[in-house]
Structure 1
Amino acid sequence: MGEQTARYLEQWETINLKDFSQQGFTLQWKDNQSINKLQRQLKIMRFRGTEEEAREYKIMLEKELKENIVIPIKKEYIKWYNPTFMIKKANRKWRMILDAKALNKQIADFHFKMHDSNEVKQTIILGDCSTSVDLSSAFHHLIVQTESQPYLAFEFQNNHYTYRAMPFGTKHSPIYFVTAMEPIMQQIRMKTEIRIINFFDDILLLHQNNEYLKNMTQKVIDTMKYFGFTINTEKSETEPNQTVIFLGWEQNLANATIKTKPKKRLLLLHDLFNMRRWIQTGT
């Protein structure tokens, strides 16, 4: 997976993003002193966690090594160590965290607009049907430029690793992912009549006609695969329905009513809060 989209360069060339896909995720520094500041503060940041967390971390690390998301790196090549640890999500599943707060302080600030539940409300038409497509490990589909890899390093049990695929945690990661996704979404909008709202790895599709929406949903899936993305079939909803659950809100498309899903909203807000905390600059 760590080089998934880079193997589809001909496809990315069709939307003028061949160079972007080939070059991959690149750290953009805040100023010409950023690298020097990191060099002066360079030190090994040991994995911190309980025995249980270390066991779970090892399992997930081995999986990411096998998928080429993470690769070993020689200690002398490392230019920055990021703390790493495990957290248990609100749904009780584990997540590996690359704590890039210190690195983020030396990264340039980029701003972009994220889709939210208000946009869903504005896009929905009474009587709509919806489907959704979920991408697996979405960020990891983009590679990391070789020159940036030494700054994404971490330590675990006296071994040294870095990310070859774009990690979750740097404040540039969401921006790069949106940059990759938006031209694809624009192509779909131009060639179909469906309305689309994408929130990172979750793609919401809307249309008034069930059969048309179902057919177009499969075309969206085929398009995402065409560009090298992996579909999470378990979390995707490919059968048209009139209930949209987005950011913890349940919206009935038949009568335009909205209600909160307390448990789901609590889980989502918990994870969104942690997302914001992980990628913050520390200021």
Structure 2
Amino acid sequence: MAAGHIEEIQFPEWLSNVIFVPKPGGKWRMCIDFKDLNKACPNDFYPLPRIDQLVDSTSGCELLSMMDASQGYHQIMLASEDRKRVSFITSNGTFCYVAMPFGLKNAGTKDLWTKYSDHR
């Protein structure tokens, strides 16, 4: 909560479980299991482009900017009406994400591709 990625919620529309996944070195990472939510979501028909498409699309351009995909999650804010769908329960309460979490099907693909392809 201190990072501002989640907030407490009273009436979630969808509830996912917390799972713990082992990390290299013996530590554990807390993750949210969005499998059931992802099954309920339709497939998005905006696949990310192949590298050759990206290279070809830059011909004739004077400037090229890059997006740091390693920091891609928790940067895109969720619409307030969608936050109740990415909620999860813990022993400390029920929370929802306010920014795009890792593990969602089609997370941001359409919006990112549309945003960057429109600005070439």
Q: 1:94 to 1:114 in 2, by over 3 A?
A: farther
Looking at secondary structure, tell me which structure has more helix per residue.
Answer: 1
State how 1:22-37 maps to structure 2 within 5 Å: none
State the secondary structure of the residue aligned to 1:140: coil
Kindly state the Cα deviation for residue 156 of structure 1 after the two structures are TM-superposed.
Answer: 1.5
Amino acid in structure 1 at the alignment position of 2:44 = F
Which residue identity is paired with 1:68?
G
Larger Rg: 1
Question: What is the aligned partner in structure 2 of residue 149 from structure 1?
Answer: 83
> Mapping of 1:117-266 within 5 angstroms?
119=51, 134=68, 137-176=71-110, 178-179=112-113, 182-183=116-117, 186-187=119-120
| 1:86-125 matched pairs, under 5 angstroms | 86-90=20-24, 94-115=28-49, 119=51
**Count of equivalent residues:** 108
| Stretches of 4+ aligned residues off by more than 6 angstroms | none
CA shift for structure 1 position 180? 6.2
Match of 1:83 among 6, 12, 17: 17
CA shift digits 1:74-132 (9 cap, x unpaired): 2xx1121101222234576654322111111221211233356xx36xx5xxxxxxxx8
What is aligned with 2:61?
Answer: none
Describe the SS at the equivalent of 1:98.
strand
Equivalent in the alignment of 2:8: 72
Instruction: Pick 1 or 2: higher relative contact order, CA cutoff 8 A, min separation 6.
Output: 2
User: Matches of 2:3 and 2:117 in 1, distance apart?
Assistant: 26
Which residue matches 2:60?
Answer: none
Cα distance in 1 for residues equivalent to 2:48 and 2:101: 19
Rounded to whole Å, the distance in 2 between the matches of 1:100 and 1:149 is 13
Letter in 1 for 2:18: T
| CA distance in 2 between partners of 1:82 and 1:91 (Å) | 27
CA contact (8 A) 1:139 1:177 kept: no
* TM-score (norm: length of structure 1): 0.33
Output the aligned Cα RMSD. 3.0
Q: Deviations over 1:241-270 (max 9, x none)?
A: xxxxxxxxxxxxxxxxxxxxxxxxxxxxxx
Structure 2 gap segments, 5+ residues each: 56-65
How far 1:183 sits from its partner (Å)? 4.0
